[in-house]
């Protein structure tokens, strides 16, 4: 893999992230943003497993991206309303199962 590397520490493990476009600063910002979401969830739910926290963090970022795309009227395949309902329901079910 060619490109700038950035090591992101999550859950006591190091993850080596690589950018192929030379935008290491952006890679660092994205990695740190995700880490801040993980840490926020860990504070709210300290007894949850790392997997639960990682999945919820991923869903949180996906929800933010989806809402941004929707607000920008980005063309998305499929029925936006149905996608929105499915994502909202999935997040609610995950939060209930994690008891957040």
pLDDT in tens, 8-66: 999 999 998 888 888 889 889 999 999 999 999 999 999 999 999 999 999 999 999 88
Distance CA 46, CA 71 (A): 33
Single pTM value for the model: 0.67
Burial of 55 (0-12, 13-18, 19+ CB in 10 A): middle
């Amino acid at each position: 893999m060619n490109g700038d590397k950035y090591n992101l520490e999550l859950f006591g493990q190091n993850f080596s992230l690589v950018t192929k476009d030379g935008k290491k600063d952006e890679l660092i910002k994205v990695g740190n943003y995700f880490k801040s979401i993980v840490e926020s969830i860990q504070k709210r739910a300290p007894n949850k497993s790392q997997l639960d926290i990682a999945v919820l963090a991923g869903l949180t970022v996906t929800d933010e991206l989806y809402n941004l795309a929707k607000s920008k009227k980005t063309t998305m395949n499929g029925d936006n309303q149905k996608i929105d309902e499915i994502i909202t329901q999935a997040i609610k079910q995950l939060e209930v199962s994690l008891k957040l």
